[in-house]
Amino acid sequence: MNDNLDVLVMTAVEAEREAVLRGIGQAGGFDVRLAGVGPASAAARTAAALAGGRYRLVVSAGIGGGFAGRADIGALVIASEIVSADLGAETPDGFAGVDELGFGSARSAVDAGLAERWAQAISAAWRPAAFGPILTLSTATGTAETAALLAERVPGAAAEGMEGGGVAAAAALFGVPVLEVRAVSNAVGPRNRAAWKIPEALRALEAGISIFTEVLP
């Protein structure tokens, strides 16, 4: 049992974890753990961490895709809400989300006040940060068509990743507030893995977490 920990940060992979640790620097009270890739692994591993410690906040952090016109490569996006955007059913008339199907909600609320302060602090101290919905998908978007469908499904969608919804589900189960940050490594759209700007995104993630240590109440 970890008795003195404050903020749990979940990243998908080790390179993201290391960037978060660099951003934290000498600040105390952070526990940075691996969520694995995808919402199921993230939910399971976040729940396991929350069951074994006392935290006042959970943050889903990592690189992600940015929606055109909302977040360019190298930018930071802070979630105004976390949306499990492919949770639902296909119908002959198109996608029906869980809200419409009556199975709960695809939307997870974040600690809105803290999220907004974080985005403002990044914009003031570093570069303009986007503040908007971050989508969680089990399958990363790989076509312009899907990108357009998602942008229509979630107006204002700023970024996508694969873990936020799982981290948020576990946080809700334990009654702990949640945040999500994505540092944009690629555009949401036609897949071109070779073009992902991972080092640039990891540097942005480090900067965003460093600023976060200053806005935490």
Ligand X SMILES: O=C(O)c1cccc(C(=O)CC[C@H]2O[C@@H](n3cnc4c(=O)[nH]cnc43)[C@H](O)[C@@H]2O)c1
Q: Under the rule (CB under 6 A), what is the footprint of ligand X?
A: 12-13, 15-16, 37, 62-65, 137, 140-141, 160-163, 185-186, 188, 198
Measured from the CB of residue 61, what is the shortest distance to ligand X in angstroms? 10
Measured at CB, which residue is nearest to ligand X?
65
Measured from the CB of residue 19, what is the shortest distance to ligand X in angstroms? 8
**CA pseudo-torsion sign 77, 78, 80, 84:** positive
User: What number of CA atoms fall less than 13 Å from residue 89's CA on the CB side?
Assistant: 9
**DSSP assignment, residue 53?**
B
SS3 of 89, please? strand
Nearer residue to ligand X within complex by CB, 80 or 186: 186
Nearer residue to ligand X within complex by CB, 57 or 63: 63
Nearer residue to ligand X within complex by CB, 115 or 184: 184
Measured from the CB of residue 4, what is the shortest distance to ligand X in angstroms? 29
Distant-in-sequence, close-in-space partners of 82: CB < 8 Å, separation ≥ 6: 60, 107, 108, 110, 133, 134, 136, 164, 165, 167, 168, 178, 180
Measured from the CB of residue 29, what is the shortest distance to ligand X in angstroms? 25
| Residue pair 134/167 in contact by the 8 Å Cβ criterion | no
Nearer residue to ligand X within complex by CB, 121 or 198: 198
Nearer residue to ligand X within complex by CB, 41 or 120: 41
How far is C-alpha 5 from the chain's CA centre? Answer: 21
Measured from the CB of residue 39, what is the shortest distance to ligand X in angstroms? 9
